[in-house]
Every structure is written in C-alpha cells, then in structure tokens.
Amino acid sequence: MSLASSSISALRKQLAAREITAVDIVDELAAAIAARDLRIGAYLSHDLADARAAAAAADLGLPLGGIPIALKDNINALGQPCTCGSRFLATGYTAPYDATVTARLRAAGAIPFGRTNLDEFAMGSATENSALQVTRNPHDLTRIPGGSSGGSAAAVAADLSIAALGSDTGGSIRQPASHCGVVGLKPSYGRVSRYGLVAFASSLDQIGPLTKSVEDAALLLQAIAGADPRDSTCLDVPVPDYSAELEKGVAGLRIGIPKEYFGEGIDPAVRALVEQAAQRLQAAGAELVDISLPHTEHAVATYYIIAPAEASSNLSRFDGIRYGKRADAPADLLDLYRRSREEGFGPEVKRRIILGTYVLSSGYYDAYYSRAQKVRTLIRRDFENAFQQVDAILTPVAPTPARKIGEFSDDPLHEYLSDIFTLAANLAGICAISVPCGSVPAESGSPLPVGVQILAPHLAEATLLRVARAAEL
C-alpha cells in the first residue's frame, strides 16, 4: 500500500518504527496531486515548501505527529489563502491567524497541507458552485463529488490526502463522503470550535473530519474537539477517548429505523445497501427498532429559511471595504457596496442572500423566519423523543448516488431536495456520520459509492463512532 493511500493509524505505526519520515508522506502526496489532481480538481492550492519544513520538524511523539491533513478552503490557516471558493476572496486575502481547529491540528503534531475546493461560501451540494473550478468525483469523473466539502472528500477518496477537514451546515461533510466513498463526521453543535471558520449559517455550521476509516475519524475528532473561549457556542464539556470507545461494539444497543427516511424518492439500490448495513448491526448484537420522526418532511423548507437568513447577515461583512473584492472606480459608497458584491458573489450566493434578506424583512419575519424556528423546535423534539427509545438512528445519506456534473445546474430546487436526509441533524444540533456501505453500478461501468448515515444524541459521538465502526465495510 502506498503512503498516500494509507490511513492515519497505519502511517503512525510506520513513523513510530522509523520505516518512513513525515517528509516522505508529504512528498508522495505532492507527487500524487501533481499527477492526478488536474483531472479531479480537489485542491485550490497547496504550499509544498511550508509543508515539507513542518514535516521535517514534526514531533512524532504527538498523537498526529507527521500526518498531513488537508483543509477546506473556508477554514483559516495562518499565511495561507482562504478563498471560500469565491471571487470575492480569491485575490488579496491571506489568513492572518489560525482557526482553532488548525491550531489544534498543529498542537497534535499534524501538518496542515493543502486548501480544498468547495461550493462558494459552502453554499451547495455538488461543488459545482465554486467560482474557481469544478471538482470531479474520483470514481467517475463525469459526476459530482457532492458538496459543499467536495474537494475534501475527493482528495481523501483519490488518495491525494491522508485525511481532511470540512464543514457541515446541512450535510456538507456527510453527503460528499457518501458520494466519494469515505467516512465523514459532523460533530454535535458546540463540540468543535467554529472560531476561524468563515461563517455561512452560525447556528448550523460545524467542522468535522473526512477520513479513510472510522478509526481515523475518531483520531481526528479527538484532536479538534473541546472548549474554546473564542467561540461562545463551543461547549466546555469533557471529551471522551473516542478511540477507546470504538472497541466496545454494539451488542445491546438499540438502533432506530425511521419510516420517513425510507419512502418515496429513494433509489432502490441505495435503500438495499442501507438495509444491509442495518442487518450487519443486527448481526453484531444491536436491536433494530422502527421509529418515527414525523416532522422530517418539513426539514428542507425550514432549513432553506433559517440558513439563508443567517447567511444574509454573515455575508454582509463582504462589502468591498475591509478585505476581498473591491470594485474599481466606484461613483460613491453605495456604488462600491453594490458593484463589489455584484462582481464578487456567484449566482447561488446571491440567491441565498436575497432569500435570507426577504424572510427577515419587515412584514415577512413572522410569516417565515419565526415560523421556521418553531418548526425547528419540533424537529429537535422528534429526535429527543426518538432517543428515549433508541441509542442511535440509521438512515440513508442521500436518495441517490452521485449525479452527473451539470445535470441539475439550472434546477436549484432539485439540489435543495437532495439534502433531505441530512438537514435535520443540523437543525437539531445532533451528531451524525456517513460510512461507506457499498456501491451501485452505473452506466459508465464505474461503481458509485453509497454511504449509510448514523445519527446519535447531542454530544454522543462516542456512541456514534461505536455504531459506525460496526457498520463499516
């Protein structure tokens, strides 16, 4: 097995035995990126000289000592670009500080290496909305990798990265993980600091790992989780030993199967693979329990009111004055604002800003935003009630495998509906993970990966990872 295709745990053993060096890993990844990433488009940039220097000085005694980790390009890393996949930040902006997760990776001995592509400002489910390039699925270059963390998922799947961090606002880690055949974990809201993540929707965003195994996801989560005084939403609660929890198995656990996630619209082949994953858990000693999450049907409408509303507020900072795109020769201050945003933002970002501004405007706030928040409470209560009966919940990640690039580029509603199985976890603030559960044939001849989603209560990542390990192929 090549170094680039190895897991974190395997590389750590080789590093400890002095069979390889951290520089060897960086150099092999750099060669793989040079050879294959022109076709895939997973990376927007990578600083080889900086990574090699960090690798040469790596402390191999640390938990992630010498392991390169790619970062989604909306997570700040000191001295590196942070474009958010947008023309607005593509020139003239270099991160002046480390995000908390970046600093914690460094403290654990990891080497931040490479900036991965994303839908602009993390708004999308295909990585087609990036203003800088399109990312392709490594399993079939005619198909999307999912989004918005499509670059991170594609890099891990194509062995262009050992592991990566992404962000998940409505499924943006789990859905691309499913489409690319890797593990993608969205932690509970408040488990991981958001300081240094360029905000999309502040009550929904979470940073999490994309990896080649559940074991690696546990290692990465261990490194980045924990309280942070710079993020008031980050909780000061103990962080379990996630790797130790993996060994406990699932015997005696109750796994919920919600009827609302297995109805009309799901590809029969996807459904069959998810049901097989449920059977593996049952064979490992878990009990399957039929449950209901009755407000699931309202998740898409609720999300697409709350998330754009928060985005319209968060993106108001991009005004052409403080950083990023600035229109040339503006007639006045209003013209500067208008043209900088017109020239800097892409169509999907503009669509969501307009929608968010509308639902927050006078006369419409109560009709839309206020009602959406009430439905959000009902969705959260659905999960609270379910978790009184079960320890975890098993569902599909997406209704279908990865679609063709450009297939629905003129149909944003279809894209929004593709997130129907992932949005509710963000609205409820619970933890969730996508684990590969097989593949389905495609007309191209290349099998397309499918993931199974596991959901667990708020701050129950230890249980989540136990179930994911048992479901993992």
Euclidean distance between CA atoms 289 and 250, whole angstroms:
14
Mean pLDDT of 183-199: 98
Residue 35 has which token pair? 């050879």
pLDDT over 90 (residue 173): yes
Mean pLDDT of 138-144: 96
Q: Cβ(126)–Cβ(144) under 8 Å?
A: yes
Mean pLDDT of 156-179: 98
The torsion angles phi and psi of 149, rounded to 5 degrees, stand at -85, 40
Going by C-alpha positions, the residue among 8, 112, 72, 82 that lies closest to residue 207 is: 72
The torsion angles phi and psi of 183, rounded to 5 degrees, stand at -95, 135
Query: Mean pLDDT for the chain?
Result: 96
Band of pLDDT at residue 408, cut at 50, 70 and 90: confident
* 225: helix, strand or coil: strand
Residue 311 has which token pair? 């985005």
Mean pLDDT of 53-82: 98
Q: Report CA torsion sign: 119, 32, 97, 104.
A: positive
Going by C-alpha positions, the residue among 180, 185, 194, 181 that lies closest to residue 151 is: 180
The total of other beta-carbon atoms located within 10 Å of residue 152's CB is: 41
Euclidean distance between CA atoms 473 and 438, whole angstroms:
7
Mean pLDDT of 41-46: 97
The three-state (H, E, C) secondary structure of 120-139, written as one string: HHHCCCCCCCCCCCCCCECC
The percentage of the chain sitting over the pLDDT mark of 90, rounded to a whole number, equals 93
Band of pLDDT at residue 264, cut at 50, 70 and 90: confident
pLDDT over 80 (residue 445): no
Helix (H) or strand (E) holding 164: strand 164-168
pTM of this prediction?
A: 0.97
Q: Report CA torsion sign: 114, 7, 209, 153.
A: positive
**Residue 463 exposure: Cα atoms within 13 Å on the Cβ side:** 23
Going by C-alpha positions, the residue among 129, 127, 185, 177 that lies closest to residue 156 is: 177
Band of pLDDT at residue 9, cut at 50, 70 and 90: very high
pLDDT of residue 417: 85
Mean pLDDT of 57-79: 98
Residue 456 has which token pair? 């667990």
Q: β-strands 392-396, 68-72: how paired?
A: unpaired
**Residue 436 exposure: Cα atoms within 13 Å on the Cβ side:** 20
Tell me the CATH number for domain 1-292+375-414+428-473.
Answer: 3.90.1300.10
* 111: helix, strand or coil: strand
Going by C-alpha positions, the residue among 190, 191, 186 that lies closest to residue 176 is: 186
Distances (CA, A) of 323 to 72, 199, 320, 350, 406: 20, 15, 6, 19, 32
Mean pLDDT of 281-296: 98
Distances (CA, A) of 222 to 105, 184, 240, 448: 10, 15, 8, 30
Residue 26 has which token pair? 């960086």
Mean pLDDT of 395-409: 93
pLDDT in tens, 246-258: 989 999 999 999 9
Residues catalogued as catalytic: 72, 148, 172
pLDDT of residue 433: 99
Tokens 């990798």 locate to 145
Q: Cβ(22)–Cβ(65) under 8 Å?
A: yes
pLDDT of residue 92: 80
One-letter amino acid at 58 equals A
pLDDT in tens, 337-378: 999 999 999 999 999 999 999 999 988 999 999 999 999 999
Helix (H) or strand (E) holding 375: helix 371-386
Mean pLDDT of 233-249: 96
Mean pLDDT of 415-438: 96
The torsion angles phi and psi of 326, rounded to 5 degrees, stand at -135, 120
DSSP conformation class of 235? -
pLDDT of residue 133: 98
pLDDT in tens, 85-136: 999 999 889 999 999 999 999 999 999 999 999 999 999 999 999 999 999 9
Q: β-strands 254-258, 392-396: how paired?
A: parallel
